[in-house]
Amino acid sequence: MKKLLFSIVSFCSINSRAGESYHDTANQVIQFIFTSDVHYGITRKTFRGDEDVAAHIVNAAMIKQINTLPGLLLPADKGVRAGKKIGWIDYLIETGDIANRQENLYQSAAASWKQFTDDYFHALTIKNNKRKGTRLFLVPGNHDVSNAIGFYREMHPATDPTSLVGIYNAMMRPLFRKTNSGYRFDKDKVNYSKDISGVHFIFITIWPDSATRIWLSNDMKKVNTSTPVILFAHDPPEGDYKHFTNPNGTHDINTHDKFENLLAEQFKSGSNTNPQSTVKEEKGLVAFLKAHPNIKAYFHGHINYSEMYTYKGPDNDIALASFRADSPMKGKYSAVDETKLSFQFVTIDTQTKTMTVRECLWNTDPKNPLKPVVWGAGKTVSLQ
């Protein structure tokens, strides 16, 4: 067990080319991969000619493609480092649903977490700009949390917090590691931040609800107002009503109301199980964003397809650069057409405060697994 825990927070290694140096550029550039919703425990209907393909096989195939990125050239698209060799990758960021919810015949969170760590902590061979293994930043998704606290439909086992506890220990690095029996979701949230080369990265559990915004406000007190801030969460800016605490009755998780109680905030935009919007909740978030205008970008998963868009809020009075990731297992479009499978590659110039996000299509020829990643859509935004 100690060996596994050590490997979770350790770096991967890979041989580098003699004489190759990226330090001049790397001192002012951050490069990372963004993906989400890897959903260990389920199968894809089809993948590379096979049927009912397990998540660990699909994710392992994606990782093989990720490992080839350092040798590729960025597209000549006028974005950050356009036309240059990638060379290094500082971070891989994954925004949750690592373990699929353990309903029906799907495997437990414990089995899924084991497969995830085997793939993402051991099979990645990419390096950062200091020749050390690329570091992972993780947040949990709604499936990870529901496995831990229970769900309104039957699960087997009824609860298994293994993936959530694994994420917590790997990212929060507590002095005394949490165990499944000692973990308390109401107290042990995966909320953390990192200052990286003049950019403040914030990672939160599920969505920035009113309770999380208290933590965010305290965290941002130490951040200069001229410092760009980037948020990473599982849910999109508009949120998901089901993830709020049940506003009805005893506020529990039940088959009638179908709220999941993943967020401390009680849902206010409606009491039924099919409300039209999260307008009240969104307005609370928009007010927070207006109070912190140095929050320049928002990355998320949950409803999965590659998208680079501007979140404008329910009253169309805000403009937040937002980026949605595809899922290797449950993509809205890639689940049907596997040639659309993608992750995103992000490059930030910290001197000019400019960020380019590029779509990486990693399975455009399912009959040829060795075909290189193909560049798809891209978007460059200012972080000033």
Domain boundaries along the sequence of the chain: 30-382
What SS3 class is residue 265? coil
Give the global pTM.
0.92
Question: Which DSSP string do the residues of 283-304 spell out, in sequence order?
Answer: HHHHHHHHH-TTEEEEEE-SS-
What does the alpha-carbon distance between residue 72 and residue 372 come to, in Å, rounded to a whole number? 8
pLDDT score recorded for residue 27:
75
pLDDT score recorded for residue 209:
98
At 190-215, the pLDDT tens digits run: 999 999 999 999 999 999 999 999 99
Dihedral angle sign, alpha carbons of residues 18, 21, 22, 27:
positive
Rounded to 5°, the CA angle 105-110-113 comes to 105
Nearest Cα neighbor of 193 from 180, 178, 211, 212 is: 212
At 116-129, the pLDDT tens digits run: 999 999 999 999 99
* CATH homologous superfamily of 30-382: Metallo-dependent phosphatases (3.60.21.10)
Cβ neighbors of 142 (< 8 A, separation 6 or more) are 96, 97, 206, 234, 235, 240, 243, 260, 262, 302
Tens digit of pLDDT at every position of the chain (384 positions): 433 433 333 333 323 333 333 444 667 999 999 999 999 999 999 999 999 999 999 999 999 999 999 999 999 999 999 999 999 999 999 999 999 999 988 999 999 999 999 999 999 999 999 999 999 999 999 999 999 999 999 999 999 999 999 999 999 999 999 999 999 999 999 999 999 999 999 999 999 999 999 999 999 999 999 999 999 999 999 999 999 999 999 999 999 999 999 999 999 987 665 555 799 999 999 999 999 999 999 999 999 999 999 999 999 999 999 999 999 999 999 999 999 999 999 999 999 999 999 999 999 999 999 999 999 999 999 999
Decide if 55 contacts 115 (C-beta within 8 A).
yes
pLDDT score recorded for residue 168:
98
pLDDT score recorded for residue 86:
98
Alpha helices in the chain (DSSP H): 2-9, 23-26, 55-66, 109-116, 142-149, 162-172, 210-220, 279-291
pLDDT score recorded for residue 275:
56
Decide if 220 contacts 201 (C-beta within 8 A).
no
pLDDT score recorded for residue 270:
73
